[in-house]
Structure formats: C-alpha cells, structure tokens
Structure 1
Amino acid sequence: MLKAVGQVLFSSGLQNPKYTADEKKGEDYEIRTYHATKWVSTTLSGMQWDAAMNSGFRRLFSYIQGNNNNKVKVEMTAPVTCRVDPGAGPACESQFTVSFFIPEEHQETPPEPSDPEVFVEHRKEFTAYVRTYGGFSKENTKREELEKLMESLKRDGVQYVENPYYAAGYDSPFKLTNRRNEVWVLKQEQE
C-alpha cells in the first residue's frame, strides 16, 4: 500500500486527458477542447473548497487502489479536477465534484465503483478557457486565479459560462517546486 501511495505521489509521468489547443489564445490563458472521456467522480456539499477536495480525493484514491467491483488497481492520472457549482448565496453550501481521469486502458469499460458515493462520469467534448499557475493552490489562490481568468475573458470580449467552474491540479502534495495548477471556465456554446 505504501509503495502504491509513493508511486502516485511522486510520479510525474501520469496520463492526461487528450485535448486540442486552439491556435487563438489570450495573452494569459489557453483555449482547449477536451475530447469526450470517462472520469471517476464523487460529489460533496459544503462551504470549504479545500476540505471537499481532500475528502473527494480520498474516496477516489480508494477506488483506484481496488475499491471497485473488479478489485482492479487503476493507474493514477492527472489532473485531479474539482467542478464547483456555487450555492445561491454567500452562506449557502456549494457542490464540489472531484474527479480523476480514467486511464486509456480502462476508458471503454471502467471498473464499477463499490462505494455508492463514487460514480463513472461520461464527459462530452467541451471547450474551456484555462489559466495556469504554480505554487501550492489553496482556496484563496484558486479564487484569485479564477477572478483573473474571468477578467481576462471580459477584457477580450469572450463569452463564457460563469458557473460551474473548475480547478485542476497536476502534482502530488509532496512535489515542492515547478507545481502546475489550473482554473477552467467553460466556453459559452453558441445556440
């Protein structure tokens, strides 16, 4: 078990979902179209982004360690995403959906989760505006980077969806330098 945790936490050669980068991009963000893929996810309600991320990560880590109907170990991937559906008011709970990308070898038939709070999510193709930043990404940092991304999109006259939005992390908590984090907002689809 400890060896598996170490491999996940120290590995940098993790599979990522495939996307197509748009040639047109802002000076401080990218435009990516992610291909349709399957993710393993869990949804939590609460006020704290970081607490939801930690609880969700533990549930999903249990799934990839074999807590699934096939008792199959599934390779860790990156990024870990957190979809945020904000509550209606400042004192309202938000919904946080934490997800791991399912590796290519399990995309066709992902192992069914044993935990009733974990589910396989089929994400359709989507286009996101992505802002990348380094360091350790705490709740305040995520919010600040999200605001910067939305300001850039407004500056460029770009139509986007305000909610939900995503945070994405690529590194283990033990990686101290050259960390990669992102915030994503979805492109407004033309009617």
Structure 2
Amino acid sequence: METSAGCRLNGSGSGMITLEDLESFPNDQDLDSAWHSHGSGSLEEDTEPMEDEQDRLLHYWQDIGRVHQVDVPTDMAEPIQQLTTNNHSSAAREKVPFTLITRKDKCGEILYEKRHYEKAKWACIPVQEEKYEQSICLGFMKLMRYICEQNSSGSYLGMTIPIVTVVRTEQSRSLLSREVIVAYHLPAQHQDHPPQPNDTDIVIQEWPASIIYTRSFSSVTNEGSILNEINLLVEALDMPQIHMEDSFIVAGYTNPAAPIRSNEIWVLHRP
C-alpha cells in the first residue's frame, strides 16, 4: 500500500483526538457518560441553543487536547458538532472493506489476520510534531475540516473507520519517527470522484490493492504501546524480511470514551 507526495507506505494507522489515550484525563470524570451526553446528536426540548451545544462539545475536545498538549482552536467548533451529530452510532461509520484470507490463532487468541484490501482513494496528510499523540490530533483536525464541508463539494462527506496512521520506527527500534501520515478512506460514494480539499496540505491519493497482516489490541495508542504492538505482530509473523525501520500502520476504530478501545497494527505483505 503506498501513496505519493509524502503519503507513501514503503516496505512492509482514532488520527483523531477521539482515538487518543485519555489515561491521564481526570479520574473523577465519567468519560463514557460525557461522550454520549455531548455526542448523542439529540437535543431535549429544554436544551440551550445550538451555539451552546457547540460550545460544550468544543470545551470537551479542548479538555482532551490539553492532555496531549494540543490546542483545539475555536474554529473547530462547527466540524466537531457536525461529526458528533452524524456519528453517534456505529452504523453511521462506514467500514473500510476487505476480504479475510486467513487467520492464525493460538489457545483461542487471534495472533493475526491476513487480509486483502482493494485499491482505494485516501485523503492523507503528513504531520511532524514533537510527540506522536500531538501529530495524530493535529492531523485529524485537518482531515475533520475536510470531511465537514471544507471541500470542493461543500458537503459533509461521511465518516469511515478505521482512521489510519502510517508510522516508521527509528533504526534503534525503540523510537517512532517524528513524521507520521494520518489518512482517511473516502466513502464508497466518493471513491470515483473525491471532493478536493480546501486545505492544500491534504493529498488525495489512490493506494493500490494490498495484502495486510493485522493484529488487534485494546488499549491506549501512544508511542510505547504502538512499539510494543509492532514487536508482538512481527514476532507472531516470524518473517525475517520485516525490518523494524519499515513502515507500519496504526488503525483506530473507537473513541476513548468507550470502555474498550479497538485498534489494530497493520504490516504490508512483501512477496
């Protein structure tokens, strides 16, 4: 799977503030209740005007952003409200299609799956911040604006999952490269003619059909957990040709308010 203009996966992907680790968020905050009360997309008869609902959502995201030393600007209020209203159920999020080729398990645990993904168009953006979590947050905020009307069609495009992040490890095998690529799979209805982003940093590219090895994990997605999961997948595959300095993908499916968060590590099959 590869793209161009800085969105290339050579060799071998929640990024969204709502895919990030909230481990250090105040313990007395009921995140699950907060997410659903802010993000249900429904308003009671005695609720305040839409502007106030946008403010509440914005402040919620700003609180999350501060955990990762990320500022969520006020102009994100409308995209946040749009995305939250349109994606209050899993049925509203289109899954990236694939065909399962095989699965390896041991003692009831799935070690990895081998899947085939068809060629498809993705919107991707390179980001390079001091911390992985910052890059994910900032990258997805840009993609979020694109999804929420800041595109040539002027319409809401629809959410797909997973949101993926292309990462590379340093040669020491103990650090992630500072630059990551955050990518969003265009919904089926926009695959043939993708709306162009208003933001010139976002590139629309067609990724070729690929065979992917993937391992699921349910935990936070920070640099430490990602490096650990990459090592676990590489060990399970037992393929010497996979080098740790190759590219990998972190795929995020759920928001951090969920009691169990669903993520995957992907490795591209190389014949």
Task: Give the TM-score normalised by structure 1.
Answer: 0.86
Alignment-derived partner of residue 4 in structure 1: 82
Superposed displacement of residue 9, structure 1: 5.5
Distance (whole Å) between structure 1 residues aligned to residue 191 and residue 243 of structure 2:
28
> Equivalent of 1:31, from 92, 95, 114?
114
SS of equivalent to 2:123: strand
The residue aligned with 1:128 is 212
Seen in structure 2, the aligned counterparts of structure 1 residues 101 and 34 have a Cα distance that, compared at 3 Å, is same
Contact 1:46–1:52 (8 Å) recurs in 2: yes
Aligned-residue offset at 1:4: 1.8
Q: Aligned residue pairs: how many?
A: 186
RMSD: 2.3
Which of residues 50, 55, 62 in structure 1 aligns to 2:133? Answer: 50
Between Structure 1 and Structure 2, whose CA radius of gyration is higher? 2
Distance 1:177 1:9, change over 3 A: farther
The answer as to whether partners of 2:102 and 2:115 remain within 8 angstroms in 1 is no
1:85 aligns with 2:171: no
**Residues 1:168 and 2:251 are matched in the alignment:** yes
Gap runs ≥5 in structure 1: none
Consecutive unaligned residues in structure 2, runs of 5 or more = 1-77
Q: Distance in 2 between matches of 1:51 and 1:186?
A: 25
Q: Is the 8 A contact 2:169 2:175 kept in 1?
A: no
Distance in 2, matches of 1:21 and 1:160, equals 21
Separation (CA, whole Å) in 1 of partners of 2:268 and 2:175? 25
User: Secondary structure, in 3 states, of the residue corresponding to 1:15?
Assistant: strand
Distance 1:25 1:92 in 2: 27
Q: Secondary structure in 2 aligned to 1:99? A: strand
- Residues 63/49 of structure 1: CA separation in 2 closer, same or farther (3 Å cut): same
Residue 119 in structure 1 maps to residue 203 in structure 2: yes
Aligned to 2:233: 149
TM-score by length of 2: 0.62
Q: Is residue 2:105 matched to residue 1:21?
A: no
Contact 1:87 1:94 in 2 (8 A): no
Name whichever structure is richer in helix by fraction: 2
Shift of 1:167: 0.2
Cα drift, residue 147 of structure 1: 0.8
Q: Structure 2: how far apart are the matches of 1:184 and 1:91?
A: 18
Larger strand share, 1 or 2: 1
